[in-house]
Amino acid sequence: MIKVGIVGGTGYTGAELLRLLARHPQARVEVLTSRQEIGKRADALFPHLRGFCDVVYSAPDVATLKSCDAVFFATPHGTAMQMAQELVDAGVKVIDLSADFRLKDTQQFTRWYKHAHSAPALLREAVYGLPEIHRDEIRAARVIGNPGCHATATQLALLPLLAARAVETDTLIADSKTGISGGGRELRLGFMFSEASQTLTAYGVSGHRHQAEIDQELSAVAGATVGVTFVPHLTPMIRGIHVTAYARLLNPELDLQNLFEQHYRGEPFVDVLPAGEYPETRSVKGANICRIAVQKAPNGRTAVVLSVIDNLVKGASGQALQCFNLMFGLPETSGLDAPPLAP
C-alpha cells in the first residue's frame, strides 16, 4: 500500500483528495496536516467522509511527512516550495496543487505571484501535470506542478487545433466560467451566497494568474508564441468550469470533429461528444472527465470549442491523483473510474 500525506487538508481540494483516495485500491492517507484543526478527525470536519476516512489532523512536520511515499500539497502558493526539496531528497514524490511548480520562468512566477521562488532548481525539474500533454514525463517525475482549473479546461479545448497547426496562434480567445468553489473555502464577501447568487461577474480581465501557464504550455505545443485572450467569470454554481474557446482556422475545410476525435482517441478522461451535442457542467460533476464539443461558427472560418470540467476534480484533485497513478506505475484510472453525479 502506498503511503500518502496531504498538507493542507481542510480546503475543498484537500477534502476532494480525501474523498478520492478513500476508494483508491493501492493508496492510504497516513498523514493529514492542518495548523488549525490539530487532533480532529477528518470526518468530523467533513461529515460526508464518515465511514470512509478516520485520519486525524496533525501539525505540518517535514520529518513526519518523510515517512510517506508521496505528499500532496493542497495549500496556498508559497508553501510547497518551502518543504518540497527536503521531501524529494528523502525519496518522497511531491504533487503540488498550488502554483509553486507550474511556471518554468522564475521571473514569470514573481510577476504573477508577487514573490521570488525559493526553490528554482526544483522548479526547473518539476513537470507540469497535464497528462494529455506530459504523460511520459509525469511517469518519471519527482515533482508535479498540478495545473490550474481554468488552464486545464482551456488547454484541452485548444490542444488539438494547435498540435495540428490548424489555427492562427495570435487571435485565440478563451471565455471561461467557474463555480464558486474555485475561490476556495475561506470566508470572503464576494463568495457569500447573497453576493454571488443570481449574478455573473467577470474578474481578472487585465490579467489572471492562469494566463501564464496557458501561454507557457500552448506555446510549447504550437512551437511558437501563442496569444490567448483569456477572461474568467464567476457564476452562481458550486462546481464546474465551462470554457468557450474561439480559434481562426487556416483551412476552413478542415474536419474539426474528426480532428478532435482522433487527437483524444484512447484518452481515459477526455470525452469528445458527437457532432451537434453541447457539454454541460453538471455532466462532469464529481468526475475526472473533460467533455468537449467542437463546431464551426456561421462564418465557416472560426472553430468554436466547448470544454467542461469539474474544477475540483479534473481541475484539481482528480488530476493530481491521475498524476499520482502515473508516477507509481498504476492504472491511470485507479480511484477515478466512478461516473459523474446527477442531478
Active-site annotation, residues: 149
SS3 per residue for the chain: CEEEEEECCCCHHHHHHHHHHCCCCCEEEEEEECCCCCCCEHHHHCHHHCCCCCCEEECCCHHHHCCCCEEEECCCCCCHHHHHHHHHHCCCEEEECCCCCCCCCHHHHHHHHCCCCCCHHHHHHCEECCHHHHHHHHHCCCEEECCCHHHHHHHHHHHHHHHCCCECCCCEEEEEEECHHHHCCCCCHHHCHHHHCCCCEECCCCCCCHHHHHHHHHHHHHCCCCCEEEEEEECCCCCCEEEEEEEEECCCCCCHHHHHHHHCCCCCCEEECCCCCCCCHHHHCCCCCEEEEEEECCCCCEEEEEEEECCCHHHHHHHHHHHHHHHCCCCCCCCCCCCCCCC
Domains and CATH numbers, the chain: 2-125 (3.40.50.720), 149-311 (3.30.360.10)
Asked if 111 and 69 count as a contact pair (C-beta separation under 8 A), the reply is no
What's the predicted TM-score (pTM) here?
Answer: 0.96
Q: What is the pLDDT along the chain (343 residues), one digit of tens a residue?
A: 999 999 999 999 999 999 999 999 999 999 999 989 999 999 999 999 999 999 999 999 999 999 999 999 999 999 999 999 999 999 999 999 999 999 999 999 999 898 899 999 999 999 999 999 999 999 999 999 999 999 999 999 999 999 999 999 999 999 999 999 988 887 788 888 888 889 999 999 988 989 999 999 999 999 999 989 999 999 999 999 999 999 999 999 999 999 999 999 999 999 999 999 999 999 999 999 999 999 999 999 999 999 999 999 999 999 999 999 999 999 999 999 999 998 8
